[in-house]
Amino acid sequence: MSNAESPGPCDLTARLAPEILTEIFLTLLANAEDSDSYGLSCVNPPWLPSHVCGRWRAVALSTPKLWCSLLPFGSRDRSGRLVPISSVLALASAHIERSNPLPLTLRVDSDWWFSNRPLLDLLLSPTQTARWGEVRILHAREDDARSHSILAALRSNTFTCLKTLRLEYCDFTGEPSRIVLPMLTSLTLVASGTSLLKTLSTPLVSHFQVQYMYTNDNGRRISASADLVSFLQKYASSLTRLEVIARSTTANWLAYSKSCLFSPS
């Protein structure tokens, strides 16, 4: 062990094996990510433990799993100020490099990312979309120019390792285009339109969750019964978990979907 990696005289973790330190760091990261105030910053894990001492840094840098999450919203420095986009971009680039070749976990909000275009361009490059493993997309709308790059990426069929997709307040109402997600096992729609289900190919999907139906800005509820029923019938044999969290206003389409999916032929 080099001097830079040697524990200090007061290091109470000096006798801990690197594997135990790794588990501690991963627990710190998981707890931090559950907080609404978490962002990509040197004051948060995994950066924080990697700046304590040489030994901790060596353990952190040798653990790709620590660097797989890219959740940059509300990134703040030690004084509580928002981190400049140039710094966030540098941090994100480090995460991408240090986590390689593991899949990435991302949270993409089109309202926020539009003002941080360099970071969006980096993560939407084919090299990186091929590493997306779990993604939560918010506020992506077909009629919003800010969302076009995100929607185009979904239709590029480069998400070859994406296993978990969660769409919140998204609307795909444009011209249908086939979306192929060959490794997807979990799909969740939260207050989102369902027209993408018409052309979505997910042969391995086993968990499908719908949380109420999307309502547009005019308060008009979009009918999606046919899209949902068609999707459920197509993948009924692969689904092992189906969750529908519906408000009373969705009772009609829910009853209809159940009757179409589960009625004997």
Q: Taking all residues of the chain, what is their mean pLDDT, rounded to a whole number?
A: 77
- Domain locations along the chain: 10-102, 103-265
Question: How much is the pLDDT for 265?
Answer: 41
Whole-angstrom distance, CA of residue 155 vs CA of residue 242:
25
More confident of the two residues 241 and 249: 241
Q: Tokens 């899209």 identify what position?
A: 227
Residue 99 has pLDDT above 50, yes or no: yes
Question: How much is the pLDDT for 76?
Answer: 56
- For residue 72, which of 103, 33, 99 has the smallest C-alpha distance? 33
139: Cβ contacts below 8 Å, ≥ 6 apart: 109, 110, 111, 147, 168, 169, 170
Question: How much is the pLDDT for 169?
Answer: 85
Residue 247 has pLDDT above 50, yes or no: yes
Whole-angstrom distance, CA of residue 51 vs CA of residue 48:
6
Question: How much is the pLDDT for 246?
Answer: 64
- % of the chain exceeding 70 in pLDDT: 68
Give the DSSP H/E element, type plus range, for residue 244. Answer: strand 241-245
Residue 118 has pLDDT above 70, yes or no: yes
**Helix, strand, coil percent values for the chain (each to nearest 5):** 40, 15, 45
Question: How much is the pLDDT for 223?
Answer: 46
Query: Which tens digits make up the pLDDT trace of 10-44?
Result: 567 788 899 999 999 898 888 776 655 556 666 67
- Residue 85, phi-psi category: left (phi > 0), alpha (psi -120 to 50), beta (remainder): alpha
* Helices and strands in the chain, H and E counts: 9, 9
Question: How much is the pLDDT for 171?
Answer: 80
User: For helices 225-234 and 251-262, what crossing angle results, to 10°?
Assistant: 30
Residue 228 has pLDDT above 70, yes or no: yes
- pTM across the whole model: 0.78
CA torsion sign for 41, 43, 48, 50 is positive
More confident of the two residues 232 and 1: 232
Query: Which tens digits make up the pLDDT trace of 42-70?
Result: 667 788 888 888 889 999 999 999 999 88
Question: How much is the pLDDT for 43?
Answer: 66
Q: Mapping DSSP to helix (H, G, I), strand (E, B) and coil, where does residue 153 land?
A: helix
State the average pLDDT over residues 238-265: 60
State the average pLDDT over residues 161-171: 91
Task: Tell me, rounded to whole angstroms, the distance of Cα 33 from its chain centroid.
Answer: 12
